[in-house]
Chains A and B, each alone.
Chain A
């Protein structure tokens, strides 16, 4: 009767479908959604999925970048170019209190920098624009405590996360109802792994920041990790000399807090090959994680994404 009516979906098709389903559910039920855009590969995938989910309409929400002012310069250029290319509204929020204090990860330490510029900055932006649902690109495979996080994560009016009071998620039914002042963080990529993200980027030819590809870059070695000297705000110790090494980044954040890895993978294929063969987890590249056991959990309860 009909031509080929049967086909088995691939894991990427299933994941894509699920993410799109989640996004549409939020748009249908939330009053004022926003997409957190951090410029990294996960954000790139999430944005790409949003373009598909609402096509031919543009995604019916703006992008929000909570800017610590310490991102790599390439990230800023990529961010602005992407918003322009896709015709998306981009809101950039920098915590004015942090700016007034001239917060820097070098002088104030990574914990305080992250708390003020990222955690507090995010709360300010959500409150200021009255966003009641915010998409984030976090995945459950990133970190132990995320494995139990729901796709829809409810936050109190104070943006606190209560791990004991999360709603069960059954089938594909998401309960998005909330009281006034409460908000939801929604993670459409919950079930994706780092491999899935890379494979999807390749399959869909999604543009990403070239920092993910290896290239000679000026770096210094500190506490056993390579930090790129991205601008002249970086104080060098006496005698410390940036050296050019062929490096790339597995995750992107504030440049002083992001470790580079030495690599020859200067094409996407090579990066994927290296990632698939890799035996270290990407979070190793994030300096903020090494504080204390369960540190991510604490940050989350305080309102970190």
Chain B
């Protein structure tokens, strides 16, 4: 034992030959329930020697227990994961499996054929080089087959295999296979998939999976395994495109070194290359590739750290590109969005958008149409539900560098994040810029915000009053403005009712209209703050995420959320405009507090308890708070 303590570490002798150098291919399997997907993956794992004895033993026991395959192994049992799912007898979600051939390592994204899981399939497809679409030879092309094929083409998978399974159940019939192949090719022609290969197989018996089938001598194409070994990997294709790398992290160990760390998503780079940094557009040269193991070229798929010859201001999220073929820069796009959350996507609502290493604020402008994934029909829509796919306009709060998704998925694919729950709620593909911002710069106005404020000798801000109808917003806001006016302050009060008569008269009270209502008011408030005004906004503004959006439009410290905290019963008993009575009688619908929710602020800057304070007292305490915050100097 004591000798062991003397040599606790071992270091490998360099034996480069012993390390098998393989490529890496990622693929996706999709099919309807019971088409044989689990059986197929199980067989691939088994045939490639990726299953261990103990796994096989367990499988043999399980197989006998379930008794579906006599004494044979039931590979379908191998792939179940989570207990609850196992009990339901179905796989939901994406699971990843691993196996290798002598030349390649494979990562399989296993996604279910279930109706409602567009989200999972898109997730699995987003990293795949190829897709296997399973078909039951007896059943032919089903609605699900069409849907899977559409999603695969949407995500831009370039290699598709139509795996016609259960050939053993149709007597290995050539005619049946050829009919299905023809049907499928006719349908898929509309989708523009680059390359389709059709393989007849039996996952259960093993025909044409890893060994050529003796039952189907008429088939001369590759086995599934041969096919997977031979197709090209997408990152190799991208290596031939123009250089792109999003800066993930700036490496500054000391003042002498400044490196930019990131993953090269297309092209190649070497010392001396002229590069352009976006969105700024500055150009410089590559000084060195730091983490490149001695090679002086780095290619797509590698994580590297680059140093540059000039001191350029670069931060996380900027994109370093080939100078002669840079990415585009824009802040408005048309793109496709796949919605992934139970809470629907609404036009006008803002979300965080992450693309590459950059996160910006995005607002969904008109939804052009949504797509029926079964029929490919285009349907008008003003929101997207879970698993729906739509083409829409997307506006960002700042310009980003991008390439269209079908040119480079890593430069044109993004996710949408809910600002409050932080959930990933959508995935999107940029098609093209709606307005090129390459040459459009924000007009550098000489009389700027600071000048406006200085002239009025005040600090502009937004006092955002939120609360139920009848909570006292307008009363307090009015009184406060009078006081400010008397103090010689320049202010303006935006009141819900008044704005709805003019600017927002086209909007009703549906959730999507409420979102748009607040968006417009927030933008107007922002302009008023720009003009140097103390801006009072008195709107019910029932949704947290819109108030959050309004807050994010302003600079730090400029947004003061005043929560008029009044219990519904109290507001209802005041009922100054008789609206609650009407709502109770069902004469108005979507009334906040009655049949439309009010989401109270969690951390308002100021809370007014209107059951204990008079309006005058409330105004007094708000003024004190403004002074305390240095806004009334």
Chain A residues in 8 Å Cβ range of B22:
10-11
A21 to B251, CA, bound (A): 14
Most buried by A among B8, B82, B291: B8
Complex Cα distance A52/B299, Å? 17
Taking the closest CB of chain A, its distance from the CB of B256, in whole angstroms, is: 10
Q: Collect the chain A residues with CB atoms within 8 Å of residue B252's CB.
A: 57
Interface window among B195-203, B219-227, B368-376, B422-430? B422-430
Cβ contact within 8 Å between B249 and A173: no
B window 592-627: CB within 8 A of A: none
Note all chain B residues with C-beta closer than 8 A to A179: 422
Asked whether A9 lies within 8 Å of B352 as measured between CB atoms, the reply is: no
Complexed CA–CA distance, A54 and B304 (Å): 10
Q: How far is the CB of B415 from chain A (nearest CB, A)?
A: 5
Chain B, 100-119, contact with A by CB distance < 8 Å: what is the 0/1 string?
Answer: 10001101001000000001
Given that A8-B236, A17-B301 are known contacts, is A215 also in contact with B4, CB under 8 Å in the complex? Answer: yes
Q: Which secondary structure characterizes the binding site on chain B?
A: mixed
Stretch at the interface among A93-101, A117-125, A128-136, A142-150: A142-150
Residues on the B chain within 8 Å of A145, using CB = 81-83
Q: How far is the CB of B175 from chain A (nearest CB, A)?
A: 39
Q: Does B320 contact A (CB under 8 A)?
A: no
Q: Which of A20, A269, A294 contacts B18 (CB 8 A)?
A: A269
- Closest CB in chain A relative to B66 CB, distance in Å: 14
C-alpha gap A86/B406 in the complex (Å): 43
| Chain A neighbourhood of B290, CB < 8 A | 55-56
Known: A55-B305, A56-B257, A163-B82. A208 touches B10 (CB 8 A): yes
Binary contact readout B377-413 vs A (1 if CB under 8 angstroms, 0 otherwise): 0000000000000000000000000000000011001
Is A7 a contact partner of B299 (Cβ separation < 8 A)?
A: yes
* A20–B105 CA distance with the chains assembled, in angstroms: 19
The answer on a CB contact under 8 Å between A168 and B340 is yes
User: In the bound complex, do residue B20 and residue A199 qualify as a contact, i.e. CB atoms below 8 Å apart?
Assistant: yes
| Chain B 491-524: CB-based contact to A (< 8 A → 1; otherwise 0) | 0000000000000000000000000000000000
Interface residues of A in 141-196 (CB under 8 A from B): 141, 144-145, 147-148, 163, 167-173, 175, 177-179, 190-191, 193, 195-196
- Complex: A206 Cα to B357 Cα, angstroms: 30
Within 8 A of B (CB), among A260-285: 267-269, 272, 278-281, 284
Which residue on chain A has the smallest CB distance to residue B301? A9
Look across to chain B and name the residue whose beta carbon is closest to the beta carbon of A170.
B126
Which of chain A's residues have a CB closer than 8 A to the CB of B98?
Answer: 140-141, 191, 193
Which of A171, A210, A217, A284 is the one whose CB lies under 8 Å from B127?
Answer: A171
User: Are B291 and A147 in contact (CB-based, < 8 A)?
Assistant: no
Q: State whether A24 touches B303 (Cβ < 8 A).
A: yes
A52 B291 Cβ-Cβ under 8 A = yes
Give A272 to B12 CA distance when docked, in angstroms.
Answer: 11
Q: Does B248 contact A (CB under 8 A)?
A: yes
In the complex, how many residue pairs between chain A and chain B have their CB atoms under 8 Å apart?
235
Q: Compute how far the CA of A172 lies from the CA of B12 in the bound complex, rounded to whole angstroms.
A: 32
Which of B7, B16, B409 is the one whose CB lies under 8 Å from A171?
B409
Give the contacts of A178-230 with B (CB-CB under 8 A). 178-179, 190-191, 193, 195-196, 199, 201-203, 205-213, 215, 217-218, 230
Please tell me if the beta carbons of B248 and A24 are within 8 angstroms of each other in the complex: yes
User: Does A233 sit within 8 A of B, measured CB to CB?
Assistant: no
B9 adjacent to A13 (CB under 8 Å): no
Query: Chain A contacts of B13 at CB under 8 A?
Result: 205, 267-269
Q: Report the bound CA distance from A221 to B593 in whole Å.
A: 70
Residue of B nearest to A267 (CB): B13
| Central interface residue in A24, A208, A217, A297, by most chain B CB within 10 Å | A24
Contact A9 B24 (CB under 8 A): yes
Report the bound CA distance from A257 to B404 in whole Å.
53
User: Is residue B539 contacting chain A, with contact meaning CB distance below 8 A?
Assistant: no
Contact B4 A78 (CB under 8 A): no
A287 contacts chain B at the CB level, 8 A cutoff: no
4 more A-B residue pairs beyond the given contacts A24-B261, A147-B97, A170-B122, with a C-beta to C-beta distance below 8 A: A11-B105, A81-B8, A171-B127, A206-B12
Report which A residues bind B (CB closer than 8 A): 2-18, 20-21, 24-25, 27-28, 52-58, 73-75, 77-78, 81-82, 140-141, 144-145, 147-148, 163, 167-173, 175, 177-179, 190-191, 193, 195-196, 199, 201-203, 205-213, 215, 217-218, 230, 267-269, 272, 278-281, 284, 293-294, 297
- B residues with a Cβ closer than 8 A to A are 1, 4-5, 7-16, 18-24, 52-55, 79-84, 86, 93-98, 100, 104-105, 107, 110, 119-120, 122-123, 126-127, 233, 235-236, 239-240, 248-249, 251-253, 257, 259, 261-263, 268, 270, 290-291, 297, 299, 301-303, 305, 316, 340, 352, 354-355, 357, 409-410, 413-415, 417, 422-424, 427
A-B contact pairs, 15 of them (CB 8 A): A2-B297, A6-B239, A6-B268, A10-B24, A14-B24, A54-B261, A56-B290, A82-B9, A147-B95, A173-B354, A173-B413, A178-B422, A191-B107, A211-B4, A268-B10
